[in-house]
Amino acid sequence: MRTVSGALRGAFADDHLLFAGIPYAAPPVGPLRWRPPQPPASWQGVRDASKAGPRCVQNTRNDPDGGRSVSEDCLTLNVWTPLKRAGTPRPVMVWIHGGAFTNGSGDMFDARWLVKRGDIIVVTINYRLGALGFLADPSLAANGNPGNYGFEDQQFALHWVHDNIASFGGDPQQVTIAGESAGAMSVCDHLVAPGSAGLFRAAVLESGPCQAQGDLAGAQKASLDYAASKGCGDRATAADCLRALPVARLDDPPSYYRLGTTGLTGPITGTAQLPTDPMTAFAQGKWAHVPVLIGTNRDEWTLFAAQQYLGERRLPDYAQQLSEVFGGQSAKVAQQYPLSGYANSALAFSAAMTDEVFACPANTIEMAVTHSAPVFAYEFNDRDAPAPEPLEKVPFPVGAGHAMEVRYLFDVGGGKPLNTAQQKLSDQMIDYWSAFVTSGTPHADGAPDWPALRGTGGPWMSLQTPEPHTFTSFDDEHKCGFWATVPAPH
C-alpha cells in the first residue's frame, strides 16, 4: 500500500486488513512541542504497519489500556479495510476516541466488526491529549492564540484521510466523522470549525456533552496556573521553560471546565480554530449542515458514580452532592429527583446528571440542527449491557451507562460476553451505523425502520433488546423542560 509519504505493509487477518501506526504528522517533539501539526517525513522502502504506535502522553496511574507505552511521538492512525477490494471506492468512517481529552487512543477500538459486516473502511486516530494537546499558555503561540493543538491534530488526520484513503480503497468524498464522549464533543467542534469545512459529509455523535467547552479566558488562566506549578511562571522564559520540561512532568492535565464532579481539558472556544462554541453555532444555524446520527445512553452518569464509589467505597451524601454541583438550584433539582424515588443516592444523583449533562443538551442539539439537515436520534437502552469487571463490584446497576454502547460496535474487550439477544442488537447497530456511513441514513435491511427526527415529537430510536423501536417521549422522560429553566451550574 502506498501513501504520499511512502509504502506500507499491513497485517492480514481472516476477515480484514489492518494498516496500523501510520504517521499522519511529524512527531510533535522538541521545537514542535505545542506547535500546530506538521507533515510527516517521507520514508524509503516499505514501512511496517502491522502494529499500532504509542499512545499519546497521558496519566497511566489508573490505566484503562493495560499499561501500554506512551510517547510524545504519537500522531499516528490505523486503517481497517475489508479483505477484498470492492469494484467502487468504499465509504469511510473516521473514529475520534473519547477520554475527556486526557486519555485513550485510537487502537483501543478494534473495528473488525464494522469492516466485515458493514463493508466500510474505518480509520481510528491518536491526537495530543491533556497539557500537550490543549495548554493555552499565551507564551506558546506567536499569534497569541494558543491551545487546541490536539484539535488541530484531528483536522490534520482528516486531511491525511482526504489525501490518502483512495489508496486503501476508500472514497475521500464519502467520509463520516464519528466519536463517543470527548470524541463526540470533537465531532460537534468539527461541525462548526472553519478549518474542518469540506472534510466530511456526515457525522455521528455518541454521548457527547457538547456544551462542556472551555473558553479562552478560562483556559488561559488555568494554563498560567499550570505553568507556574511546573516552575515556568516567569513570562519572559515560560515558553522555553515549558518546552524543556521532561515529558513525565506533563502527564497531569489542566482543567478548563467542571462537569459535575470532574474536570475536563479539551477544545477551547473563542479561538481561531473554534471562534464560536458549538451550542451557540447550532442555535444560529452556523454549522456544516450534513446528516447527523446522534444519541445518548439511558443511564449515562452511572459510570461516573460507579467510579466514584470504587474510589471512596461509600455512597454519596445526596444533598451534599447536589449542593456542590447545583448550588442554589439544588432544592429544585431534589424536588424533581427525590431520593425516595431511587434505590440509593448514587442512582438519584446519576438520574439528575444523566439528564442535565447528556440527554437534554443532546436534545437541544437535535432540535436546533433538524431544521437544516436530516437528523437520526437514538437512546441506547440495554440496561443489562455488560460492564467492565471492576464496575460489577458496586452496589447498584450501571445499566446503560456512559460508553456501554461502544462494545456493541467495536471489539473493545472487557466484561462478560454479549448474550444472544445483545449480539443481535450489536449486529443491528452495526448495520445502522454502516448504513449511515454509506448513505447518510440508517436504513438497514432486516432491522426496524429508523425515521428521521421531525421535531419535538421525535421519533427517537430506542436501541434495546429484544428489538429496537421508536418512541416519542425522550424529552419528557429526561425532564428537558425542567432543565431549560435551570442555569448551567458549571
b/e string for 260-282 if b means 16 or more Cβ within 10 A? bbebbbbbbbbbebbebbbbebb
> Between 182-192 and 149-164, two packed helices, what is the crossing angle to 10 degrees?
70
Active site residue 206: no
Least Cα distance to 230 among 254, 210, 202 occurs for: 254
Q: Which of 5, 139, 181, 434 is catalytic?
A: 181
Least Cα distance to 430 among 403, 411, 416, 458 occurs for: 411
CA 384, CA 375: separation in Å to the nearest integer? 27
Backbone φ and ψ for 124, nearest 5 degrees, come out as -115, 140
One DSSP character per residue, 17-29 reads EEEEEEE-S----
Active site residue 392: no
CA 474, CA 462: separation in Å to the nearest integer? 10
Active site residue 469: no
Task: Answer for the pair 410, 109: CB distance below 8 angstroms, yes or no.
Answer: yes
Task: Answer for the pair 54, 71: CB distance below 8 angstroms, yes or no.
Answer: yes
The residue assigned the cell 445518548 is 296
The residue assigned the cell 421525535 is 458
Sign, CA dihedral 181-185-191-193, equals negative
Q: Which long-range contacts (CB under 8 A, 24 or more apart) does 8-15 make?
A: 8/46, 8/47, 8/49, 9/46, 9/47, 9/48, 9/49, 9/50, 10/49, 10/50, 10/79, 11/49, 11/50, 11/51, 12/83, 13/83, 13/112, 14/83, 15/82, 15/83, 15/112, 15/115, 15/116
Q: Which of 72, 206, 300, 405 is catalytic?
A: 300
Q: Which of 16, 97, 402, 478 is catalytic?
A: 402
Q: Is 429 helix (H, G, I), strand (E, B) or coil?
A: helix
Residues noted as catalytic = 181, 300, 402
